[in-house]
């Protein structure tokens, strides 16, 4: 059975919903075609329903994930622990420019964040274990200052799967909170 409805529509009590029901996501997740280790958004169960999440790869100037048609309003940057460390050291200028573009989205009423697929404590401990204390300090400094400077939160999800689930929940929550507004803006543009 495939159920297509808005998440804000009244739903039956959870006791009446079986995990075999499919729920088609009301939006399409877009992912950057430059993303090499993309999340699949499969096996996501919310409220007892297995979600089917349409995905589409396309060019994105900023970040790795968004909602189709809304990449100027909602952005998620995915980082593996290794990529995050490399980005705050060797790729510092590129990540800073990306954060500036994310700040531009935030300042016009949108949302952007960075989600790391590791835990900060594990990354920090691994760097210090490898005698990379300076790199560990740089990472901690960026974790403290960049979310303030660029108004872009950094989430450390602990592992790849939790990062993927968090990303989808952020996209879903943003869509639920803004879908009426987005649809109204689209209607105004079409007049």
**In terms of Cα–Cα distance, which of 7, 34, 29 is closest to 164?**
29
Helix axes 120-129, 133-150, angle to 10 degrees: 150
pLDDT value at residue 97: 95
pLDDT value at residue 185: 47
Residues 18-26, mean pLDDT to the nearest whole number: 80
| Helix locations, 55-159, DSSP H | 81-88, 92-107, 120-129, 133-150
With residues binned 3-state (H G I as helix, E B as strand, rest as coil), the percentages for the chain, rounded to 5, are 45, 20, 35
- Mean pLDDT value across the chain: 86
Hey, is 93 helix, strand or coil? helix
Does 71 have pLDDT greater than 90? yes
Determine the Cα–Cα distance for residues 18 and 12; give it in Å rounded to an integer: 11
> pLDDT by residue (tens digit) across 149-186?
999 999 999 999 999 999 999 999 999 999 876 554 44
Does 72 have pLDDT greater than 70? yes
Q: Which domains does the chain have, with CATH numbers?
A: 58-190 (3.40.50.10130)
> pLDDT by residue (tens digit) across 73-88?
999 999 999 999 999 9
Determine the Cα–Cα distance for residues 118 and 38; give it in Å rounded to an integer: 15
pLDDT value at residue 183: 52
DSSP 118-145: S-HHHHHHHHHHTT-HHHHHHHHHHHHH
pLDDT value at residue 19: 54
Give the percent of the chain with pLDDT over 90.
Answer: 76
> pLDDT by residue (tens digit) across 99-132?
999 999 999 999 999 999 999 999 999 998 999 9
Residues 47-69, mean pLDDT to the nearest whole number: 95
């Amino acid at each position: 059975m495939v159920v297509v409805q808005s998440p804000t529509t009244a739903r039956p009590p959870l006791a009446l919903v079986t995990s075999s029901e499919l729920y088609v996501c009301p939006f399409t997740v877009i992912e950057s075609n430059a993303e090499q280790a993309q999340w699949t958004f499969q096996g996501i169960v919310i409220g007892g329903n297995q979600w089917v999440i349409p995905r589409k790869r396309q060019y994105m100037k900023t970040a790795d994930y968004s909602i189709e048609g809304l990449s100027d309003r909602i952005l998620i940057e995915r980082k593996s622990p290794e990529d995050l460390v490399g980005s705050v050291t060797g790729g510092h200028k590129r990540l800073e420019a990306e954060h500036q573009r994310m700040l531009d989205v935030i300042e016009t009423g949108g949302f952007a964040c960075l989600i790391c697929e590791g835990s900060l404590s594990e990354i920090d401990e691994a760097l210090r274990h490898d005698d990379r204390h300076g790199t560990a300090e740089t990472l901690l400094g960026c974790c403290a200052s960049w979310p303030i400077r660029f108004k872009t939160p950094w989430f450390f999800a602990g592992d790849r799967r939790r990062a993927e689930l968090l990303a989808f929940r952020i996209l879903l929550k943003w869509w639920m909170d803004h879908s009426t507004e987005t649809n109204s803006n689209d209607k105004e543009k079409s007049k």
